[in-house]
Amino acid sequence: MKSISQLAAFIILCSLQSWAIATEVKTESSIIDWAEPNSIKEYMVYKLSPVKGEQTFAPNVVLSDPDLSENFSEIYLVRSESFEEGETFTLFITASYIDTKWRNYNKAVTSKDIELEVTTLNKRLMDCSDKNICAGKKHYEEQLALNIDFIEIVDSMATNLDLNLSNQNSGEGGSIESNSIKNSQAKNKRAEMIKIPGSYFLAIMRTLKLE
């Protein structure tokens, strides 16, 4: 079954955030050649989870494109391998933006018109400290998880993954919200383009163990 377990997703997210805090300074102060898979591979972290088995955490791809930082703070790919679920690839996205209402991202479509299931893991509403930027707005954060199948990963190695993330769904299918998340404000229509280089996927595929 393609949909990810809510509990498992939360556990992965906690592991991801712990790793991000521990390595953020190192990653930001270093220069990753995003066109070179081996350079990206150097910043991958490997962990063993009692739930998800062996996990590989790729670096924050937001650092590869300044335009992404306007609406996102984190975009990570995680490869997990366990006896129960086999090999899975999950793209974790943290949308971080200044606005007057929630955007409620709930739809992700690739350039090949393949729709990926979007799971909303968590939402946070924070005060905006910069009064010059905020002017009646607030700081919103949405933590999302997207399952990507193996074929899509392989196809993206040769080109890129062009992902259109939006809130165009009417709420019927294609999107899951955790039970802990309450209903948000009316949707603020948005559509963001996320471009992830093929070298990023080639790098994580180079971590696969040959049987």
In the DSSP assignment, the letter for residue 191 is E
Q: Is the model's pLDDT at 101 over the cut of 60? A: yes
Query: pLDDT tens for residues 70-86?
Result: 999 999 999 988 777 77
User: Which residue is it, tokens 């129960």?
Assistant: 84
Query: pLDDT tens for residues 41-71?
Result: 999 998 887 776 788 999 999 999 989 999 9
What pLDDT does 83 receive?
73
Does an H or E element contain 141, and which?
A: strand 138-148
CA distance 90 to 119: 11
- Cα 184 to chain centroid, rounded: 21
Token duo for residue 107: 């739809």
Domain boundaries, the chain: 6-205
Query: pLDDT tens for residues 13-25?
Result: 555 554 454 444 3
CA distance 26 to 10: 25
Token duo for residue 72: 């996102």
Tell me the pTM.
Answer: 0.80
